[in-house]
Amino acid sequence: MEDEVDRLVAAWRRERPDLDVEPLEVLSRVSRLARHLDRARRLAFAEHHLESWEFDVLTALRRAGTPYQLSPGQLLTQTLVTSGTMTNRIDRLAKKGLVARLPDPSDRRGVLVRLTDEGRDRADQALAGLLAQERAILAELSPAQRGELAGLLRQLTAPFDNIPG
């Protein structure tokens, strides 16, 4: 089955036969697929009355385990947004009662963001919905293919995640 990137690459080969556009076969697909996934996630979360950005923050806290709290800085590295964005997100989630801001007892510059009970429940429900949707998308691939794909992607993401970028 052909996809939009096949058409894109073919067009470049016609227009710029002097260039080697092979990198696009991988990385343009990654970007485009991510964009499609964003849209799909938005729909899935809407059923639980959550925005994607809310899900990202709530689940980061949920994964941290009891007592479900992290510093804004820790949330930054997990969600890949800037500090100003995170401040704004925490404000809005706090206003909705899904998280609470607490002073960090060990560093007076610091803050701890704690998930409320409602926040935890909402995160759990939305996660279940997301996994169901993602399973459907991945049904295109065999389990072995999924494992292979995960491994290849890990090789590309590891440098970004380990060398501060």
- Give the binding site for DNA (CB under 7 A): 42, 51, 53, 71-73, 76, 80-92, 101, 104, 107-111
C-beta of 15: minimal distance to its own copies in Å?
A: 5
Name the amino acid, one letter, at 26: V
Size of the site for its own copies (CB under 8 A): 68
Q: How far is CA 72 from the centre of its chain?
A: 17
Collapsing DSSP states into helix, strand and coil, what is residue 100? strand
Q: How many residues does the structure list for the chain?
A: 165
Contact partner at residue 138 from DNA, its own copies, none, CB < 5 to 8 Å by partner kind = its own copies
d(CA 78, CA 60): 7
Question: For residues 84-113, which are near its own copies according to CB under 8 A?
Answer: none
- Give least dist CB 105 to its own copies, A: 24
Helix H or strand E segment including 24 = helix 22-46
- Helix ranges restricted to H, 96-140: 117-138
Q: Is 71 in the site for its own copies (CB under 8 A)?
A: no
What is the Cα–Cα distance from 141 to 110, expressed in whole angstroms?
A: 45
Task: Tell me whether residue 80 or residue 153 sits nearer to DNA (CB atom).
Answer: 80
Query: Applying CB under 8 A, does 46 fall inside the site for its own copies?
Result: no
DSSP for residue 82? -
Q: Which stretch binds its own copies (CB under 8 A): 60-68, 85-93, 95-103, 111-119?
A: 60-68
Q: Is the dihedral of CA 160, 162, 163, 165 positive or negative?
A: positive
Closest residue by Cα to residue 75 from 86, 63, 91, 88:
86
Name the one range near its own copies by CB under 8 A: 31-39, 91-99, 100-108, 111-119.
31-39
Residues lying near its own copies in the complex (CB under 8 A)? 1-6, 8, 11-12, 14-16, 19-27, 29-40, 62-65, 77-78, 80, 124, 127-128, 131, 134-135, 137-138, 140-141, 145-150, 152-162, 165
